[in-house]
Chains A and B, each alone.
Chain A
Amino acid sequence: QSALTQSASMSGSPGQSITISCTGTSSDIGGYNYVSWYQQHPGKAPKLMIYDVGDRPSGVSIRFSGSKSGNTASLTISGLQAEDEADYYCSSYTNRGTWVFGGGTKLTVL
């Protein structure tokens, strides 16, 4: 199972909005609404930010939102803050009964 495709790095200024994309296939992202997103700060465990394409767990800021179109999922962070600087990973369930992650996007807040 090949990893989902994410840009290696992105950057934005405080207050701006940024969208991270995650591209898969009809066997994963395109076939299921089980896309999730994770935030990981250096040396820390990942944290669930978005699940089922666009749902937010309790306690996650409303500045984080998710969507999907075809085989591509997106995570949008609005009103960028310094604390949003982290690595972001997408994940999807697949038609093989397995899960796959994206390669990760390193977000820098300028």
Chain B
Amino acid sequence: QVQLVESGGGVVQPGRSLRLSCAASGLTFSLNSMHWVRQAPGKGLEWVTFISDDSKRKYYADSVRGRFTISRDNSKNTLYLDMNSLRPEDTAVFYCTTNSPSGSYRFDYWGQGTLVTVSS
């Protein structure tokens, strides 16, 4: 079965950086586009960023553009999110999700999430 395991979350001071990872198994990772979606404590879901299967297309939410960078290593079945200039409002559980290679746009499988807390 598809398994996505996020890691790298933790407590970080405002203005600092953090890298999240998402290890994928049970699927042909190199054929799946991927997303990061976040959820602030007690709040709703917010789409963060997308990367195509071949890394040629990357899109970002306005709230993170210029500060966050998505990347992937298909040889390691791993997705990354580099987060710079972190703000308190970035505090959230970050989920990695797959996007089916079928041509549709959706969030098929989700990891369990990793909590990022930005606080001094």
Contacts and interface: CB of A to CB of B under 8 A. Distances in A.
B67 interface: no
A33 to B, nearest CB: 9
A64 interface: no
B59 A98 contact: yes
* From B44, B50, B60, B108, residue with most partner A Cβ within 10 Å: B44
Nearest to A4: B44
A97 B37 CA distance: 15
Contacts of A47: 110
B111 interface: yes
Interface size class of A (residues with CB under 8 A): 20 to 34
Interface size class of B (residues with CB under 8 A): 20 to 34
Nearest to B109: A48
B68 to A, nearest CB: 13
Contacts of A46: 37, 45, 95, 107, 110
A51 B110 contact: no
A11 to B, nearest CB: 19
Given A91-B107, A93-B105, A45 B112 contact: yes
Contacts of B106: 34, 36, 48, 51-52, 91
A34 B111 CA distance: 22
B87 to A, nearest CB: 19
B10 to A, nearest CB: 19
Interface in B48-73: 50, 59-62
Given A36-B107, A48-B108, A98 B61 contact: yes
B46 interface: yes
B108 A57 contact: yes
Contact of B59 (A48, A57, A97): A97
A100 B62 CA distance: 11
A24 interface: no
B97 to A, nearest CB: 8
Closest 3 A/B residue pairs (Cβ):
A99-B47, A45-B110, A104-B44
Given A46-B45, A48-B109, A99-B105, 8 more contacts: A36-B106, A45-B113, A46-B110, A51-B104, A93-B105, A98-B47, A101-B46, A104-B45
